[in-house]
Structure 1
Amino acid sequence: MTDKISNQDLCNEVEKAHHRIKSYIRRTPLEYSAYLSERTCAKVYLKLESEQITGAFKARGAFNKVLKFSENDSKQTEGKKFFTASSGNHGMAMTMALQASGKKGTIYVPNNVAKSKFENLVLHKADVRKFGDDCMVTEREAMRAAKEEGGIYVSPYNDPDIIAGQGTIGLEILQDLKDVDAVFVTVGGGGLISGISSYLKQMKPNIKIVGCSPANSNVMEQSAEAGKQIEIVNLETLSDGSAGNIDIPSITFPICQRNVDRWVNVTEDEIADAMYLMLDVHHKVIEGAAGVALASFLKVKADFQGQNVAVVICGSGVGIATIKKIIDTHWKE
């Protein structure tokens, strides 16, 4: 796996991915928010990947990977199982993609996987196994199992086909809002922002890409500041979908170095505030990782007055207990 994959290369692959997956996924709305626009003196648009078929953007990358693999299937790979690791959303996406293509796979999740995400995997008949207390530990176990059983490991982010699939979000944003000035994207392993930023920077070089992370788990941001990939101690966060350490090396790191213009990290209270705002104002349930991008924009809103801003609302996978806690906390204020 090379770290020299260019924006042009990924842009081309994003366009191919768009044609490959468009009949399997939803083209999600880019919804104008009058409330956020009035509050921030910008024109704010929400890319609602929370409305995607799996409830998160991950469907794009998973379908692109599995469908592309099916196109290139051969006798050497026929019948081989897929293995992957996930905090929930990628696992659900892979489950749907594998079922749609008639292939088999095993999903590894960390022991602290959100109850709602684990139950959803079970509901959809996924072969799901718990292992490890950190996403990186879970990924290494999935890699080991794939090697031991002669299967195919699919990284949730460290894979050009996954990245290209996620990049179709950038393609849709630009088609719907040609004058977009800035895009806010939550960053975990970096697959989402790598795909979106590579397409948008190639097509519109002056666009600003803002990488958003929870302060409790921001390994890509800290790696960018260090100038090399590092591992950190991760704390508990509402943004479970973006939490944990990542592969070293990961092809997403040099892409983030190249394309991310600014990093913002937010506290747990700021994430909760953003989740409550979406529920209260837009009547939409979003998960913590989606709240990170919105909270990050609100934190630096003064720097984007008068601009067209897109915020990627990456998913809706949050349990009722978390929603209740956020509502109860804010209702007292």
Structure 2
Amino acid sequence: MARVEVALVEHARSRAGFVTEAASHLLSAGGKRFRPLLVLLAAEAGSHPDAPEVITAACVVELTHLASLYHDDVMDEAALRRGADSANARWDNHVAILTGDFLFSKSSELTADLGPEAVRIQAQTFTALVEGQILETVAPGPDEDALAHHLDVVSGKTGALIATSARYGALFGGTTPEVQQALTEYGTIVGSAFQLSDDILDIASESTESGKTPGTDLREGVPTLPVLIARASTDPGDARLLELLDADLTDDRLHAEALALLRAHPAMEQARQYVVGEAARAKALLAVLPPGPVRQALEAFADVVAVRSS
């Protein structure tokens, strides 16, 4: 990871100082580096985990992720990202959008160095990511299952790039095709579980440890797993909660009441159990790997995603 960090700083450089400053803004703000870490872990399952292509692939997925954050913040009109001013707040939307484009182009340059197979994978990943982002802005139709729609959004917007992270690690680390397929599926499931655990944190967290104010998604009317499960309730005792979920929750009093009711609702435990179940499903795919530290690390990775507190 230390090598990846050094490489990321270099790849965010431009011949123009201002571009370098803008492109390094979110990079220097930190982050979990969830995606490059998964590249490195998956590569350990292969015969040459120290191949230079593994480091390059780790940079590709993180730069792609960072680029998407610049665009997300413009769409969400976000003022903060990772505890710092978002690029659009520090500069403006034009700078944020073009900086995201710059980082996407840098990730594309690196992908080209990895060969045509990586280019194809990256193109497919980007398609899924953008489709997921677009679907998030479109409410499900009256005959559509709102929960299924949300899971579809999460699979594209978050799961696709994390799946590619595992796939790149397995591919460039030198694993067999069987392992590559299993780890790609593992990444898809773990990636979606990562976002769904974020859904739970939005309601459950008592502080800003998760990186945002508790109940932010609830206040903004963004669909999340616990809310969607609660909305499906037919219990007459949930009438007040359902009424609040359709109300304007920018009102602090109503928001606090809705948050308290949700925290006490069975939907929270159902959401947690769903994510834990997804982690178990992901771990079952690791049966293709021999017992040992690599498999244990990937199992632990899935568990951390399912029960994380930040």
The normalised TM-score by structure 1 is 0.27
Q: Which has the higher helix share?
A: 2
Between structure 1 and structure 2, the one with the greater Rg is 2
The normalised TM-score by structure 2 is 0.28
